[in-house]
Chain A
């Protein structure tokens, strides 16, 4: 009995959770005169999407977001791999103190330092650049911890064997550690990509040109260019356009994403 009730409740929760997405899609692909009426009619239109696509430079925004997200992830993977290897496998002076310094970044993330980091970026003359949006995230304590955890589980004998065969340190890293940590890289990649695809406040502050603005900032500007509530169909269409690529990628690879997460040593 208890089991049945919780079962129904949890399926109900899933339906409730899906509602906002379904509604956004529903509104985006319906004629705009019907946007606020609650009639079920089989009308379908691409007008809103086409109108939105032509009304603001969304293609440019897509490109910007894509460049920012891949740039951040690429650099993070390099910096985190190197640091994780040092923390996991080497004994050196100052290791524990440094580790705590890394921990601090988890608690005081760049996102809350918007004002001081704006000043840093201004001093570096990097305001309103893509590099400026990316840079505060180039070092990822989260990535370092995840990879360190995984690297620690890799037996030392593998490294010894590779060394006997004359591999240099970076070959060992590249051929032994990186391939064995693949699920961790996927899990970290998912977190990083969805994080930076979603990021808004920081790029809002540091950008003021179409060339550098990511999708989220573009969407906010687009949505705010209307009177409140008057243009549901258009704003929904723009919203759907922004969330669609990442959502699609997630739906296609969800099994792999979630399994990577589960087996990545995230605890």
Chain B
């Protein structure tokens, strides 16, 4: 028994040593910061208070009464709603198309995918010119339709659509890659037997392709949703959250609160909200929606 016991111990120590390097950084930059944020969110720590002091739930109370907070939260939900389903559907359509043997396959794949390797900040520069009133590319195109005078980034309703369209352009090709990978795992025989039965392309898609791609869709859904809370780089260049917070998003508001207003307590409370939202979505997907995807 002693020998077996010792072998077990050896494997345990060995495994933990292998995990140690990852764990150190995981604790230092994920778990410890989250814990610190939760604590700091119950303190008043801004420019007016040189020594942070405990103020109960004051930050949260002020946050709930803050119109800008509700504005950025609803903006973020619209932003997620606008970008996630469309970019995933487009990614799937791109994969189905680029997966076929067709002329210029490599070229089409490249055209779809390249925005992924272009930094968001560069994307923002280019699209700023596209959206510029009067001289921008979009204005020129709209002129043909007699709507030349539209302002895209300076208008409270248009600005969100402008952002959503740009982000779909940036992300769809990335999701295509995951679908291309997913398509490789579907056996050719299924398609052969479907065509023997005389099934129409749409039926094949609905009955075979789409259900079998479900694990991929779940995985992509999580990436897309997290991205809709992560992507704020473009705001720095294009709108700074304006006009009148119409394009402001939660992470950008955290950035402003922490590094422009230097209200650390409030920035912590906002970060806690962000973490809770993301964990909630993870929990829904992990325990509810997702019975098919296994990480084992």
Task: Check A239–B126 contact: CB distance below 8 A.
Answer: yes
Known: A10-B108, A11-B104, A83-B19. 18 other contacts (CB 8 A): A10-B97, A24-B125, A78-B21, A79-B25, A83-B21, A86-B14, A86-B19, A107-B278, A116-B37, A120-B29, A135-B25, A141-B26, A198-B117, A219-B119, A219-B122, A220-B237, A243-B122, A261-B177
For the complex of A and B, list the 9 residue pairs with the smallest distance between their C-beta atoms, beginning with the closest.
A116-B33, A139-B25, A92-B15, A14-B111, A136-B29, A198-B119, A86-B18, A107-B282, A139-B22
* Residue A266 is within 8 A (CB to CB) of chain B in the complex: yes
Within the assembled complex, what's the spacing in Å between the Cα atoms of A139 and B226?
18
Q: Answer whether A255 and B118 are a contact pair too, CB < 8 Å, given A38-B140, A115-B268.
A: no
Chain A residues closer than 8 Å to B173, beta-carbon distance: 17
Contact sample, A vs B, 12 pairs, CB 8 Å cutoff: A18-B114, A21-B114, A24-B125, A90-B11, A91-B11, A92-B15, A104-B31, A112-B229, A138-B21, A216-B233, A242-B119, A254-B106
A258 within 8 Å of B (CB atoms):
yes
Nearest CB in chain B: distance from A259 CB, A = 10
Check A194 against B177 for contact (C-beta < 8 Å): no
Whether a CB of chain A sits under 8 angstroms from the CB of B219 is yes
Query: Is B116 an interface position by the 8 A CB rule?
Result: yes
Per DSSP, chain A at the interface is helix
Stretch from B59-67, B156-164, B191-199, B254-262 contacting the other chain: B254-262
B94 within 8 A of A: yes
Which chain B residues in 125-181 approach chain A with CB under 8 Å? 125-130, 132, 135, 137, 140, 169, 173, 177-178, 180-181
**Cα–Cα distance between A216 and B14 once the two chains are bound (Å):** 41
Contacts of A15 in B (CB 8 A): 111
Q: B110 to chain A: which residues have CB within 8 Å?
A: 251, 254
Of the candidate stretches A43-51, A157-165, A200-208, the one touching chain B is A200-208
Chain A residue contacts of B229, Cβ below 8 A: 112
Chain B residues, Cβ within 8 Å of A86: 14-16, 18-19
A224 at the interface (CB under 8 A from B): yes
Judged by a CB distance under 8 angstroms, whether A264 is at the interface is: yes
User: Closest Cβ of chain A: how far from B94's Cβ, in Å?
Assistant: 7
B274 within 8 A of A: yes
Whether B113 contacts A232 by the Cβ 8 Å rule is no
Interface residues of B in 15-67 (CB under 8 A from A): 15-16, 18-19, 21-26, 28-34, 36-37, 40
Complex interface: chain A residues within 8 A of B237 (CB): 220, 223-224
Residue numbers in A under 8 Å from B108 (CB-CB): 10-11, 14
Question: A239-B125, A267-B215, A267-B216 known; A116 and B271 CB under 8 Å?
Answer: yes
CB distance from A208 to the nearest CB of B (A): 12
Residue of A27, A141, A239 with most partner-chain B CB within 10 A: A239
With a cutoff of 8 Å between Cβ atoms, the chain B residues found around residue A3 in the complex are 201
CA distance in complex: A243, B14 (Å): 43
Q: Is the CB of B22 within 8 A of A110?
A: no
Output the nearest chain A residue to B90 by Cβ-Cβ distance.
Answer: A13
* Range of interface residues on B (Cβ < 8 Å): 35 or more
- In the bound complex, residues from chain A placing their C-beta under 8 Å from that of B117 are 194, 197-198, 243, 246-247, 250
- A23 touching B137 by the CB < 8 A rule? yes
B258-282 interface code vs A (CB 8 A; 1 in, 0 out)? 1100001001100100110011011
B121 located at the interface, meaning its Cβ lies under 8 Å from any Cβ of chain A in the complex: yes
Task: List the B side residues contacting A232 at CB < 8 Å.
Answer: 129
Assess the A247–B114 pair: CB atoms within 8 A. Answer: yes
> A82-134: which residues lie under 8 A (CB-CB) from chain B?
82-83, 85-87, 90-93, 95, 98-99, 101-120
Question: B36 touches which one: A102, A116, A216, A255 (CB < 8 A)?
Answer: A116
Closest A residue to B32 using CB positions? A120
Which residue of chain B has its CB nearest to the CB of A91? B11
A192 at interface by CB-CB < 8 Å: no
Task: Considering the complex, give the chain A residue whose CB is closest to the CB of B230.
Answer: A111
**Among the listed B236, B258, B281, which residue makes an inter-chain contact with A115, where contact means beta carbons less than 8 Å apart?**
B258
A120 touching B255 in the complex, CB below 8 Å, given contacts A14-B107, A111-B230: no
A107/B21 contact (C-beta < 8 A), A113-B37, A254-B106 known? no
Residues in B whose Cβ lies below 8 Å from that of A236: 125-126, 129
- Of A79, A116, A250, the most chain B CB neighbours within 10 A belong to A116
Interface contact A17-B169, CB-CB below 8 Å: yes
How many Å lie between the Cα of A3 and that of B200 in the bound state?
12
Take A113-B271, A236-B129 as given contacts and tell me if A201 and B19 are in contact as well, using a CB distance cutoff of 8 Å: no
> Which residue of chain A has the shortest Cβ distance to B294 in the bound complex?
A267
Please indicate which of the listed interface residues A93, A95, A108, A219 has the most CB atoms of chain B within 10 Å of its own CB: A108
A109, B125: Cβ atoms closer than 8 Å: no
Q: Could you say which of A17, A82, A85, A266 contacts B178, with CB atoms under 8 Å apart? A: A266
A200:B120 contact, CB within 8 angstroms = yes
* A225 interface contact, C-beta 8 A: no
With a cutoff of 8 Å between Cβ atoms, the chain A residues found around residue B127 in the complex are: 20
Q: Which residue of B lies closest to A87 (CB)?
A: B19
Nearest B residue to A139 by beta-carbon distance?
B25
A197 to B278: give the CA distance in the assembly, Å: 25
